[in-house]
Amino acid sequence: MESNFIKTIVEKDLAEGKVKEIVTRFPPEPNSYLHIGHARAIVVDFETAKDYGGRTNLRFDDTNPESEDVEYVDAIIEDVRWLGYEPDKILYGSDYFDEQYKRAQLLIRKGLAYVDDSTQEEISRMRGSFTEAGTNSPYRERSVEENLELFENMKNGKYKEGEKTLRAKIDMAHPNINMRDPIIYRIVYQHHHRHGDKWCIYPMYDFAHPLQDAIEGVTHSFCSIEFENHRPLYDWFVKECEMEHTPQQIEFGRLNIENTILSKRYFRELVEKGYVTGYDDPRMPTLRGIKRRGYTADAVKDFVISAGLSKTNATVSMDMLEHAVREDLKLKTSRIFAVVDPIELVIDNYPEGKVEYVDVVNNPENEALGLRKMAFSKYVYINRDDFIEEKPNKKWKRLALGEEVRLMNAYFVKANSVEYDKDGNVLRVHCTYDPETKSGSGFDQRKPNGNIGYVEKSTARKAKFNYFTSLFVPGTEGKDFSERICKDSWTIKEGFVEDFSEFKVGDSFQFIRDGYYTVDTESKEDELVFNETVALKSSYK
């Protein structure tokens, strides 16, 4: 990764001998699927460690049993690996509950934590505001013995949810509101995905997170900028809980994408209200969604890295990500022919029943992808918009009645007449071909009126093509989903592709003069389904 403010800090710490080995962690809460924003955090965590020979753990911040589920745990592991990162260890914050309980007892013994009987509302009210100091809780001066006993009772399930909390005793007049006696533990009667019903008290994020980092020997704990004001508390807990290791929290700006929402809460709403087909809907900015659409892990990483890293939140355009996808797929994919919205050409002077094959280079920019045999016969499909009955002007460089074009990699054909369906649409175009003009023969007597692609009929594979636009109508930020959702953001067309390969789910191709496409999860052998991953830039069409 290129130099950035985080690497500067890390290099200084190494040079000064403050740390020997860089240890980082990616700490998702397993309550939903990862999105493109998380990719920034993952890249920063893994790449920074990698650049200095260090290591990175994947640690689940699973301290909130109300919203977490093992389904998300598995999906997150899979998504991190998809991005190309193998965690040094896969760890669970909840595995430190015993240790954290002891550290909380230590705080109590040091007179730095107390059990509070105030309700949630009372605690909020006593917290004060940015301009006013808070007020001390009436339970703040409980004795160490009483606090130890009450805390143990909390753990043993003697109280109802909300009846008591454990709070740090810091300073109710502290200018940083996070330091005004924050809650450390709350009572929650919920089944935990790893520990079942063992616990009915759960640590709050601000207490759990620094201790998790310290227990694991994390040296640099990267997180997004909204945690900046929590850093004094992070440091306070590490110090007062007398942790052996002192991790350093460093914040970076969040990555946002224009006209896209990167937030788990909204994902759930989109899925539950049926605006999308699921978390892996190709329109979703989840890692599963973009993977299904055909975005590559390398492109996502390049995108994240090229967007740079700063302390402020950045909103970048989707064009940047699409650019990275095109760049990445350019050399990796074979360039094949597909006909979306087909019409048939019948080459009247070509022998019935004959199929000939022409050698075609799969990717002129990457020889390693080899050659293929492409079929040609009396019947081929072309794109409907590559034909017009009457040539409208000189700029029309495609097929028209009386005009001759090259069928790419095959012959010149001239259109002579049209057959229509019952609705008057063009169904078939009758042509004649010139055997002298075979591609590669060096024929140069005439110039055709353009080159168009085709797919031979008897070998063609039937396919559906999914097209996507943004899920949201541009300029509707802040409005309700019912107004924001773009109703026809997923459209389907039908056509054919040349019989190139097995077309396995996830395989990507360039459809010549069209775009990059990827075989969708719903694809079947007798009816292939492709997602348009990203269109070619119009100048290449």
Contacts with ligand ATP, 21-40, as mask; x by CB under 6 A: ------xxx-------xx-x
10 binds, among ligand ATP, Mg ion, none (CB under 5 to 8 A by kind): none
Burial of residue 190 (CB within 10 Å: 0-12, 13-18, 19+) is middle
CB of residue 185 to ligand ATP, shortest distance in Å? 20
User: From Mg ion, ligand ATP, none, which one binds at residue 164 (CB under 5 to 8 Å depending on kind)?
Assistant: none
Between 142 and 264, whose beta carbon lies closer to ligand ATP? 264
Kindly provide the b/e burial profile for residues 484-508, where b requires at least 16 CB atoms within 10 angstroms of the residue's own CB. bbbeebbeeeebbbbbbeebeeebb
**For residue 434, what is the DSSP state?**
E
Q: Is 254 in the site for ligand ATP (CB under 6 A)?
A: yes
Contacts of 199 (CB under 8 A, 6+ apart): 97, 155, 192
Query: Under the criterion CB under 6 A, does residue 88 sit at the interface with ligand ATP?
Result: no
* Residue 80, contacted partner among ligand ATP, Mg ion, none, CB below 5-8 A by kind: none
Beta-bridge partners for 346: 379, 430
Q: How far is the CB of 125 from Mg ion (least distance, A)?
A: 26
Tokens of 137: 């809780």
CB of 40 to Mg ion, least distance (A): 14
The number of beta carbons lying within 10 Å of the beta carbon of residue 361 is 15
Q: Which is nearer to ligand ATP, 75 or 497 (CB)?
A: 75
Q: Which residue is nearest to Mg ion (CB)?
A: 29
Closest residue to ligand ATP, judged by C-beta, is 37
**Active site residues per annotation:** 29, 254, 264
Mention every residue, 6+ apart, whose C-beta is less than 8 A from residue 480: none
Contacts of 2 (CB under 8 A, 6+ apart): 305
Element (H, E) at 203: strand 201-203
Residues 508 and 294: their CA atoms lie apart, in Å, by: 7
Say if residues 72 and 30 touch (Cβ distance below 8 Å). Answer: yes
Interstrand relation of 515-519 and 528-535 (parallel, antiparallel or unpaired):
antiparallel
**Residue 263, binding choice from Mg ion, ligand ATP, none, Cβ under 5 to 8 Å by partner class:** ligand ATP
The owner of tokens 């980082």 is 24
Instruction: Check residue 224 for interaction with ligand ATP (CB under 6 A).
Output: yes
Interacting residues with ligand ATP between 285 and 324 (CB under 6 A): none
In the complex, the smallest distance separating the C-beta of residue 270 from ligand ATP, rounded to whole angstroms, is: 13
Q: Which of Mg ion, ligand ATP, none has residue 180 at its interface (CB below 5 to 8 Å by kind)?
A: none
Q: Which is nearer to ligand ATP, 261 or 528 (CB)?
A: 261
The entry of Mg ion, ligand ATP, none near residue 264 (CB within 5 to 8 angstroms by kind) is: ligand ATP
3-class secondary-structure state, position 244: coil
Q: Is 223 in the site for ligand ATP (CB under 6 A)?
A: yes
- Of 243, 252, 314, 245, nearest to 9 by C-alpha is 252
Q: Where are the alpha helices (DSSP H) in 53-191?
A: 70-82, 97-109, 120-126, 144-155
Residues in touch with Mg ion (CB under 5 A): 29
Radius of gyration of the chain measured on its C-alpha atoms: 31
> Minimum distance from CB of 29 to Mg ion (Å)?
5
Q: Is 34 helix (H, G, I), strand (E, B) or coil?
A: coil
Rounded Cα distance between 454 and 461, Å, is 13
Residue whose CB is less far from ligand ATP, 32 or 296: 32
Residue 223 backbone dihedrals phi, psi, to 5 degrees: -150, 170
State in angstroms the smallest separation of the CB of 263 from ligand ATP.
Answer: 4
Selected from 255, 284, 324, 452, the binder of ligand ATP by CB under 6 A is 255
**Closest distance of CB 75 from ligand ATP, Å:** 12
# of chain residues touching ligand ATP (CB under 6 A): 14
| Among the listed residues 176, 263, 306, 459, the single contact to ligand ATP using CB under 6 A | 263
Each residue 180-219 as x (binds ligand ATP by CB under 6 A) or -, in order, gives ----------------------------------------
Residues that bind ligand ATP (CB under 6 A): 27-29, 37-38, 40-41, 223-224, 254-255, 262-264
